[in-house]
Structure 1
């Protein structure tokens, strides 16, 4: 099996470690938290803050980080260091052949990705989420468990969608927006906005 470097040592990294075990050997983790690596008995080595492909023993890396902003920063830095980012689809998920997944996209278990969907680089579709036909997700989006994105919806880069949130069809969400868990988004969302509730309303106090 090929070996990979996983970025992060938190919950997402631990989940991804389990999901990728049938396909990859984990060479190690890049993190600033050696205590997590030890406490959770994660396999492989721990690299603090920086690493080269030669040190890691692999050029393949996966970003298992929930923050879109940190994800973007780490991706840019590691690309310059010489790492590459394959996409990963768990075998329990359904991804339509006519969809397009960018480099570094992770599709967790039990997701459905419809035809014509485009998912940008290093976006993470967590378990049980659904992406309707012809929806477009920009780079570095984080779609958390159970979230549903309607057909022809458009998410710009680095959008965070909380667990069990719903974005209706044809709705556009601006870059760096946050959709809170359980929110129902029915209309266009301004870039950088935080949306909460059903129907979702902007909560400037959280921005």
Structure 2
């Protein structure tokens, strides 16, 4: 039986702890061993969770350990996942039992697919991608590594996002539109044309957000 360690014991880590218990393979392929977090008291006011075993930096990987990264910020997700990868750690996918994934869609490693997510045919998804509840991905879409798609986000057919892209709640990317690496799509925004790397867009239609 694989022993799952959750990277991050804050709010999102607690969400993933609960999600994991309703994911495919829980209790048959894996159980939850605990959390990794440098804030050892993060769960002090939250009874009923598995323990925080160590920090990501100091944890020594054991036989049968597997990992999932429960960090919402794509920069930190990449940073801490790479620390575990450098130690030889293995990441698994967490796929909720209510998610709908077409048989010929391809997912990388370390992905989180939450409740009622719909992933259509011929979609290609990289490593360490998070899909929050009710996300919909249209046919032939392409998703890079370390992306985070928040609840009710949508990608149309043949749309594409690069690495480390964040789509906030109810963000929409229209069919065939491309979003380049490290871009951020604001909540309730509708992306109608290409988004350049590293910028934040917001609104309907989505435009570059200036601070």
**TM-score of Structure 1 vs Structure 2, range by shorter chain:** over 0.9
From 112, 118, 122, give the equivalent of 1:112: 118
Does residue 4 of the first structure (1) align with residue 11 of the second (2)?
no
Q: Whose helix fraction is larger, Structure 1's or Structure 2's?
A: 1
Q: Which shifted more, 132-141 or 17-26?
A: 17-26
Deviations 1:42-100 (A, max 9, x none): 2133312421212xx64200011111111111121101112101112111010000100
Q: CA RMSD in A?
A: 1.4
TM-score if structure 2 supplies the norm length?
A: 0.92
Does residue 152 of the first structure (1) align with residue 158 of the second (2)?
yes
Partner of 1:64: 70
Partner of 1:166: 172
Q: Following TM superposition, by how much is the alpha carbon of 1:192 offset from its aligned partner in structure 2, in angstroms?
A: 0.4
Partner of 2:53: 46
Tell me the SS of whatever aligns to 2:43. helix
Q: Which aligned pairs between 1:7-156 and structure 2 lie closer than 5 A?
A: 7-22=7-22, 23=26, 24-41=30-47, 42-50=49-57, 51-54=59-62, 58-156=64-162
Partners of 2:7 and 2:56 within 8 A in 1: no
Q: Distance in 1 between matches of 2:126 and 2:44?
A: 33
Q: Distance in 2 between matches of 1:90 and 1:49?
A: 25
Q: Following TM superposition, by how much is the alpha carbon of 1:158 offset from its aligned partner in structure 2, in angstroms?
A: 0.2
Q: Which aligned pairs between 1:159-198 and structure 2 lie closer than 5 A?
A: 159-198=165-204
Partners of 1:134 and 1:151 within 8 A in 2: yes
Deviations 1:131-185 (A, max 9, x none): 1001000000000011011111110000000011111111100100011111111
Q: Distance in 2 between matches of 1:37 and 1:173?
A: 37
Partners of 1:130 and 1:146 within 8 A in 2: yes
Q: Following TM superposition, by how much is the alpha carbon of 1:102 offset from its aligned partner in structure 2, in angstroms?
A: 0.2
Deviations 1:107-134 (A, max 9, x none): 0010000001111101101111001001
Mind listing any 5+ residue stretches in structure 1 that lack a counterpart? none
Q: Distance in 1 between matches of 2:8 and 2:18?
A: 14
Partners of 2:111 and 2:130 within 8 A in 1: yes
TM-score if structure 1 supplies the norm length?
A: 0.93
Q: Following TM superposition, by how much is the alpha carbon of 1:28 offset from its aligned partner in structure 2, in angstroms?
A: 1.4
What count of residue pairs does the alignment treat as equivalent?
A: 203
Q: Which shifted more, 1-10 or 41-50?
A: 41-50
